[in-house]
Amino acid sequence: MEQQDAVVDLAGRRIVVVGGAGDIGSALVGKLVALGAVVGVVDRDAYALAALAGKAQGANPLRTCQADVCDEQAMARAFAEFSPEIDGLVNAAAIENRPTPIDQFDVETFRRIQDVNVTGVLLGMKHAIPLMRESGGSIVNLSSTAGIKGSPGMAAYVASKHAVIGLTRCAAVEWGEYDIRCNAVCPGPVESRMIDAIFGSEPGAPSQKAKARMAVIPSRRFSTPEEVANLVAFLLSDAARIINGACYSIDGGLSAI
């Protein structure tokens, strides 16, 4: 059988991005819209959703739905709006913790981060998979290099991102026979609000802590949201149709250290 070169073609694909109003999420939404996908965005920030809808430029109108990823009823209602079928899901919603040693960590903060970063991913998959069961699809969960490495002061975030990889692998094993693929993307530090908060930077002005972190990355810089979006778009496409249960680092070589 002759092999043909695969391309990232998402024209007409119905893809839901949970947490799509954040830095990586909004870059991905712009990418998917430009590639011709029919995109639905779920986020808790109504103002950010409205702004995102106003900027989206593509053949298909952007569909938005406000919902808290931790609220199962809200998530069920959100996915009901995208029925009867979708072709792809991206779980991109996440929050971080302020750098804090484990012996000083507030338990309620720890639980809140697990709820958003882990339960949110579970609920996204739980309500998306029935919409893919008939025709298959692709799920991409945003983990992090924090999902494969430790980081001092970041126990809650690191624990949550390790859990995302576990959920990804379980879904890949459970649903592969239905032609539903599930993969994880593990960005290193990305130019974003979250990284500015962790390193105490101002937008466009890295702090000394951020510069020190860049210095140990082989590429000597942070990734951009658009670079992460390119990888996610590939995994959503038929160009990646045999890839299932994989975890892709996109970190300038940080995870190789």
pLDDT single digits (tens) 199-241: 999 988 999 999 999 999 999 999 999 999 999 999 999 999 9
Q: What are phi and psi of 194, to 5 degrees?
A: -60, -45
Percent of the chain topping pLDDT 90: 92
Helix (H) or strand (E) holding 41: strand 38-43
**12-26 pLDDT per residue, tens:** 999 999 999 999 999
CA angle 154, 160, 166 (to 5 degrees): 135
pLDDT of residue 174: 98
Q: Mean of the pLDDT values across residues 140-157?
A: 97
pLDDT at 256 over 60: yes
pLDDT at 1 over 70: no
**40-98 pLDDT per residue, tens:** 999 999 999 999 998 877 778 899 999 999 999 999 999 999 989 999 999 999 999 99
Q: 6 pLDDT band (50/70/90 cuts)? A: low
Superfamily for domain range 14-188+225-242: NAD(P)-binding Rossmann-like Domain (3.40.50.720)
pLDDT at 4 over 80: no
Contact 155, 109 (CB under 8 A): no
Mean pLDDT of the chain: 95
The b/e string for 165-176 (b: 16+ C-beta within 10 A; e otherwise) is: bebbbebbeebe
pLDDT of residue 26: 96
CA of residue 218 relative to chain centroid, distance: 24
Kindly name the residue from 47, 157, 178, 248 that is annotated as catalytic: 157
For residue 47, indicate whether it is catalytic. no
pLDDT of residue 7: 74
pLDDT at 5 over 60: no
pLDDT at 3 over 50: no
Helix (H) or strand (E) holding 40: strand 38-43
Q: Where are the domains of the chain?
A: 14-188+225-242, 190-222
